[in-house]
């Protein structure tokens, strides 16, 4: 309906497939007949998602239980995925943890964990995915979910924000590398605003800034086809963040964000 049907269905590796936003996005792709390797920590939950995607039209959906913060075997895991679902043309990195800024400042081990999950491991998965999508040529795409929190360091969440901002730079760099020759794959950093998911369950919601997983899913599916390397979803965040980025530090210091 709102998303164009891809020429041929994608073969997708989803890192963090149990994320609410990942699942909503996969539903859009399943309706187009995509094949999935679904990675995450909880096997039973991944199985439930795989069954759902299959019933919605996915050609294939396999569940792979794995703690993604550990990316040491990323190459082997992706190779196994390619054996399961065929040559991979799409890799989406969805997993992440919001954490608590104050706690992470007080406890460096927690800060290290936030950086390991949200940046270091995600960057390594993206690097390991690059040769796969390069094989796929212009169809190939790596999409990583970044955040508007990565656009400017703010006292309320700059450890998470730095990790997400760093991840966006990795994607931008990959896009530049892929773009060196015509016909190459794409890399996209998806900068999400506020989305109503389990990650934000504790936050008081309401108002026009909040989106739903089903609302941003078509935007993400479209970002697999074109645009980038930095895509804001919903779109208005591009302008919100522009305003936030250009605010002089002296004024910014007085804003509690």
Partner 1 sequence: MILPAPGPAESWGRVVRASSRRLAPQFRDEVARGLAAARDAGVSTLGVGLGRSYGDSGLNSDQAVIDARHLDRLISFDPDAGVLRAEAGASLGALAQVLAPRGFFLPTVPGTRFVTLGGAVANDVHGKNHERAGTFGANVRRIGLRRSDGVVEIAPGDDLFAATIGGLGLTGFIEWVEIGVTRIPSTLIDQETIPFDDLDAFFAIAAESKARFEHTVAWVDCTQGGKSIGRGVFTRGVWAPDGGFAPHTDRALPVPIEAPSFALNPLTLKAFNVAYDAAQRLKAGTARVHYTGHFWPLDSLFGWNKLYGPKGFYQYQCVLPWATGRDGVAEMLRRIARSGEGSFLAVLKTFGDRPSPGMLSFPMPGTTLALDFRNRGAATMKLLAALDDIVREAGGRLYPAKDGRMPAAMFRAGYPALDRFATFVDPAFSSDFWRRITA
Ligand X SMILES: NC(=O)c1ccc[n+]([C@@H]2O[C@H](COP(=O)([O-])OP(=O)(O)OC[C@H]3O[C@@H](n4cnc5c(N)ncnc54)[C@H](OP(=O)(O)O)[C@@H]3O)[C@@H](O)[C@H]2O)c1
Residues with a known catalytic role = 160
Judged by CB under 6 A, does residue 54 bind ligand X? no
Comparing CB distances to ligand X, the nearer of 90 and 136 is 90
**Phi and psi at residue 45, to the nearest 5°:** -65, -40
Helix (H) / strand (E) element for 108: namely helix 108-115
Shortest separation between residue 88's beta carbon and ligand X, angstroms:
18
Q: Which two tokens stand for residue 217?
A: 């899913």
Comparing CB distances to ligand X, the nearer of 35 and 197 is 197
* Site map 5..44 versus partner 1, x via CB under 8 A: -------------x-x---------------------x-x
Query: Distance between CA atoms of 233 and 205, rounded to whole angstroms?
Result: 17
Segment interacting with ligand X (CB under 6 A) among 79-87, 89-97, 130-138, 241-249: 89-97
CA 164 to chain centre: 10
- What SS3 state is found at 204? coil
Number of residues that bind partner 1 (CB under 8 A): 15
Q: Judge whether 197 and 20 are in contact, CB under 8 Å.
A: yes
Shortest separation between residue 120's beta carbon and ligand X, angstroms:
11
Query: Distance between CA atoms of 30 and 35, rounded to whole angstroms?
Result: 7
CA neighbor of 161 nearest in space, from 139, 131, 132, 191? 191
Q: Judge whether 39 and 66 are in contact, CB under 8 Å.
A: yes
Shortest separation between residue 155's beta carbon and partner 1, angstroms:
26
Comparing CB distances to ligand X, the nearer of 36 and 95 is 95
Interaction with partner 1 in 44-73: which residues (CB under 8 A)?
44-45, 48-49, 51-52, 55-56
Q: Which does 117 bind (CB under 5 to 8 A by kind): partner 1, ligand X, none?
A: ligand X
Helix (H) / strand (E) element for 192: namely strand 186-192
Comparing CB distances to partner 1, the nearer of 152 and 222 is 222
CA 95 to chain centre: 7
Q: Which two tokens stand for residue 26?
A: 């996969």
Where do runs of H (alpha helix) occur along 152-211?
158-178
Provide the binding-site residues for ligand X, judged by CB under 6 A.
Answer: 16, 18-21, 40-42, 67-69, 94-97, 117, 145, 147, 192, 194-195, 197-200
Provide the binding-site residues for partner 1, judged by CB under 8 A.
Answer: 1-2, 18, 20, 42, 44-45, 48-49, 51-52, 55-56, 198, 201
């Amino acid at each position: 309906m709102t998303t164009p049907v891809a020429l041929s269905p994608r073969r997708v590796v989803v890192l963090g497939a149990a994320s609410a936003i990942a699942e909503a996005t996969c539903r859009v792709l399943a309706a187009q007949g995509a094949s999935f390797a679904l990675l995450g920590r909880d096997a039973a939950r991944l199985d439930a998602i795989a069954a759902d995607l299959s019933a919605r039209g996915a050609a294939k959906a396999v569940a792979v239980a794995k703690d993604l913060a550990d990316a040491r075997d990323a190459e082997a895991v992706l190779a196994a995925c390619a054996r399961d679902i065929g040559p991979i043309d799409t890799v989406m990195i969805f997993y992440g943890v919001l954490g608590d800024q104050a706690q992470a400042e007080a406890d460096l081990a927690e800060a290290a964990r936030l950086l390991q999950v949200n940046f270091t491991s995600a960057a390594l998965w993206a690097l390991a995915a690059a040769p796969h999508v390069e094989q796929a040529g212009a169809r190939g795409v790596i999409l990583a979910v970044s955040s508007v929190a990565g656009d400017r360091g703010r006292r309320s969440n700059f450890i998470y924000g730095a990790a997400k901002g760093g991840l966006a730079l990795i994607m931008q760099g990959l896009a530049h590398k892929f773009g060196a020759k015509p016909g190459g794959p794409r890399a996209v950093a998806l900068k999400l605003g506020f989305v109503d998911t389990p990650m934000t369950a504790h936050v008081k919601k309401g108002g026009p800034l909040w989106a739903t997983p089903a609302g941003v899913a078509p935007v993400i599916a479209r970002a697999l086809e074109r645009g980038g390397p930095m895509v804001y979803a919903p779109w208005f965040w591009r302008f919100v963040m522009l305003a936030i980025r250009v605010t002089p530090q002296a004024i910014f210091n007085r804003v509690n964000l």
